[in-house]
Structure 1
Amino acid sequence: MHVWSKVALLSFGGPAGQIAVMHRLVVEEKRWISEERFLHALNFTMVLPGPEAQQLATYLGWMLHGTRGGLTAGTLFILPGFLSILALSILYAFFRDLVFVEGIFYGLKPAVMAVVAAAVVQIGRKALHNSILIFLAAAAFTAIFFFQIPFPLIVLGAALTGWLGGRAFPAYFLTADAHKAPSPPSQAPLETPLWRHSLRTLAIWIPLWFTPLVALALWLGSDSLFVTLGVFFSKMAVVTFGGAYAVLAYVAQQAVETYGWLQPGEMIDGLGMAETTPGPLIQVVQFVAFMGAFRFSGDISPLLAGLGASVLVTWVTFTPCFLWIFLGAPYIERLQSNRALKTALTAVTAAVVGVILNLALWFSLNTLFAEISELHVYRLRILLPTWSTIDWPALIIAAAAFIAHFHMRTGLIPTLALSASAGILYRLIF
């Protein structure tokens, strides 16, 4: 438990940093598992929906100590981020009008915008190996930004394209790693037949996932805000391929434009919270739920509504992660040797680059411009910023953050801290 608590408290810097911390502690320092088995576990979590770092912690705990170990490692990985985001959400809801607090978020918004832009470049370099994959990324960006096609449909379309394209043109959809022999079988504990294990896992985790939603629907009605939040983020838990940045584009647009839970700039503030606290980046959904319930609390105390929504959305977001691990881990070898799955995931990863580009552009427009109009031509939507409303200080902070983080390799936390300090200084002076 001590090691997993340490992993949780040190899990800053997004998935790459979190995975590096686990590797250092579990493989290099404790030598609990070999390098090969660690990579084998990482490959498995990369093909699942949800935050790969949290699922990797769950898988490693399961590998070492069975279900109890998986529950302990996965839960401890979430807990620090949950408490941190909850505290910051309360601070944001009640005190964001204070100059100091407002200055922090003023500086964080353009910095987060720059971090997402850097992620587009970094992920694109790794994922887009040829013209076909570049075309898929461009098509995904066009679909979600201009035509507002839902993110789940883009994922399904990309997966189908990769599956079919991999059969016809495997050279375009198989990376060099895909041609290597699969790793040796995992020695993870499993004493029952696979079919019986699968049925038992489903019988336990499916009710755990959906019982709170059914109970809330019976108590408050199926159209209540809490049921809407629970159902929406349950759907997100199933389609969160490609990391948090990919799905957050869809969450941001739905939370702001469809449901009105947030104002455009508030999603960027929430992402800044998640970037600067330990735990998975997808924990930002807790902030979305808190603000939505706080704003539309009805007869319930806004604070109590926000607390309840935070717990509910965290539950429906991460309960499926435990389900995927406990259900799928015994089948890991079959997944790792499945060529069709590899080609489908290659295409999904390419599409995710386009979706993240959409997130970067959407954040940039809402951070830098006070007014944005929409032009609709049939099903095509074009966002037109009013150039006279550009926020020049925010643009300067964003440019400096991008240069520091991407070109000068300044760490994420120092970049965000310096940007927040610049925001405070600007608000104190002006």
Structure 2
Amino acid sequence: MNEKQSYTLAGLVKYFLKLGAIGFGGPVALVGYMNRDLVEERRWIMEEDYKEGLALAQLAPGPLAAQLAIYIGYVDYKLLGATLVGLAFVLPSFLMVVALGIAYVQFGGLPWMQALFYGIGAAVIGIIAVSSYKLTKKSLGRDWLLWIIFGVLMVATFIYEKELLWLILLGGIAVWMSRTRPRLLNTTQSILYSPVLLQVTGQLSADEKLVQTGWFFLKAGAFVFGSGLAIVPFLYGGVVKEYQWLSEQQFLDAVAVAMITPGPVVITVGFIGYLVAGLPGACVAALATFLPCYLFTILPAPYFKKYGKHAAIKAFIDGVTAAATGAIAGAVLVLAKRQFTDITSVVIALGTILILLNFKKISELLIIALAAAAGLLIKFIPDLINV
């Protein structure tokens, strides 16, 4: 059994700055990178702590990868670690999307974005698929119940195209009941208590667009469960349909920006906030979105650390982890269905998978760069030939 290695807070912050700057592939890939780098290779974080963080990130609202990062920062360095790691993880991608927002406004759109997204999107599917495969292999083992829960969540996520919190909770309860006698009902209820409270809603009456923007994105961060991708439908209903801040095309461009930049996908709120209210709008949107996920991670974290090793709690976490892994696999299928528009995109994704499985030292960043170049060539060379 591998022993845990010592590390410094500065080293952890540096790692998350790097991950936020070059970590492509969305929440599934980012979660996989953390497991590979911090658990398997460096052994800074124990597998049990990682699984507890992943379970908590699934149960609480907000972006999955950001919450797991905050929890990892909390493990050994408590509040200071959680705060610095959260900021380090989000800051690089926030600066990138704001810069893209400035360019977008100045030049009246980003016509090259769709070409980049064509190649990058296909490669991202491959990266996510490999991360999902490794996470599944590591988390489920030979436990048939965990595999059943995994399969149910994968199919449900694919059909409904969103993560179903109640099914994830049922996965945890099913394993808990199968492994232990349900004598710890009060303890389990305390785990579920926080998400239930989050269903409280409220209204703010204000005319200022900045205040309205902050309130909307605060709700987006507080009431949307699942990965960063789960926030996209909520944002669409608000910024396009309800408030009409953006057009359909502007919103699609915002999602594309989130996919072609590293770090958490939910950072697209910075781009949207900039289009709505400039630099103050970007800052308010990002802060309002990430504040709830920060609070909903650090507040229950001490209880997860204290009770997470209990047999009943561990069984519940194992069930939630299996369910979360199934939801991630389902999200891969959903994204693939939308991304694969022709045989070329399929070839790029399959090539990415083969490269990652057979050449483990090749950087994902290099693959993303090659895929981006391929997208530009495929989309623009025919136009140049026809000129």
Give TM-score, length-normalised by structure 1.
Answer: 0.63
8 Å contact kept, 1:264–1:366: no
The residue that corresponds to 2:217 in the other structure is 229
**In the TM superposition, what is the alpha-carbon distance from 1:4 to its structure 2 partner?**
4.9
Residue of structure 1 equivalent to 2:188: none
- Kindly tell me: are residues 302 and 53 of structure 1, through their superposed partners in 2, closer, same or farther at Cα, counting changes over 3 Å? closer
Describe the superposition over 1:250-304 as per-residue Cα deviations: whole angstroms up to 9, x where unpaired. Answer: 3345445787587668646523423xxxxxx4x32120x2455466x4xxx4665
- Tell me what 2:307 maps to: 334
Q: Is the 1:58–1:69 contact (alpha carbons within 8 Å) kept by the matching residues of 2? A: yes
- Deviation of residue 429 (structure 1)? 0.8
Larger radius of gyration: 1
Alignment partner, residue 367 of structure 1: 339
How many percent identity over aligned positions? 17
RMSD: 4.0
| 3-state SS, counterpart of residue 308 of structure 2 | helix
Gaps of 5+ in 1: 29-34, 170-201, 203-208, 241-246, 275-280, 370-390
Match of 1:271 among 259, 262, 265: 259
Query: Per-residue displacement from partner, 1:134-186 (whole Å, max 9, x unpaired)?
Result: 221221123333256752222222222222222279xxxxxxxxxxxxxxxxx
Structure 2: stretches of 5+ with no match in the other structure: 1-8, 24-29, 58-63, 183-193, 241-245, 383-387
1:246-395 to 2 correspondence within 5 Å?
247-255=227-235, 267=255, 269-274=257-262, 281=263, 283-287=264-268, 289-293=269-273, 297=276, 301=277, 304-325=280-301, 327-328=302-303, 332-336=305-309, 338-369=310-341, 391-395=342-346
1:205-247 Cα deviation digits (max 9, x unpaired): xxxx9xxx98x925359995543331132134xx55xxxxxx2
Shift of 1:111: 0.9
1:311, 1:131 → 2: CA distance? 42
Of the three residues 352, 356, 367, the one matched with 1:415 is 367
SS in structure 2 opposite 1:232? helix
Correspondence for 2:356 = 405
Change in Cα spacing, 1:398 to 1:269, as seen in structure 2 (3 Å) is: farther
The one of 179, 182, 195 equivalent to 1:166 is 179
Per-residue deviation, 1:106: 2.2
User: Where does residue 134 of structure 2 map in the other structure?
Assistant: 122
Cα separation, 1, equivalents of 2:111 and 2:152: 42
Cα contact 2:271–2:282 (8 A) shared by 1? yes
User: Paired residue for 1:243?
Assistant: none
1:41 is displaced (CA, Å) by 5.1
**Using a 3 Å threshold, how does the CA distance of structure 1 residues 259 and 93 change in structure 2: closer, same or farther?**
same
Name the residue aligned to 2:378: 426
Q: Is the 8 A contact 1:108 1:423 kept in 2?
A: yes
Q: Secondary structure at the match of 1:219?
A: coil
Aligned partners of 1:7 and 1:22 also within 8 Å: no
Deviation at 1:341, TM superposition (A): 1.3
Alignment-derived partner of residue 103 in structure 1 = 115
Say if 1:108 and 1:84 are closer, same or farther in 2 by CA, change over 3 A.
same
Mapped to 2, the partners of 1:164 and 1:71 lie a distance apart of: 36
CA distance in 1, matches of 2:109, 2:130: 30
Is the CA contact 1:138–1:354 (under 8 Å) kept in the aligned structure 2? yes
TM-score normalised per structure 2: 0.69
State how far apart, in whole Å, the 2-side matches of 1:264 and 1:395 are. Answer: 22
Aligned-partner Cα distance in 1 for 2:91–2:229: 24
Residue aligning to 2:56? 48
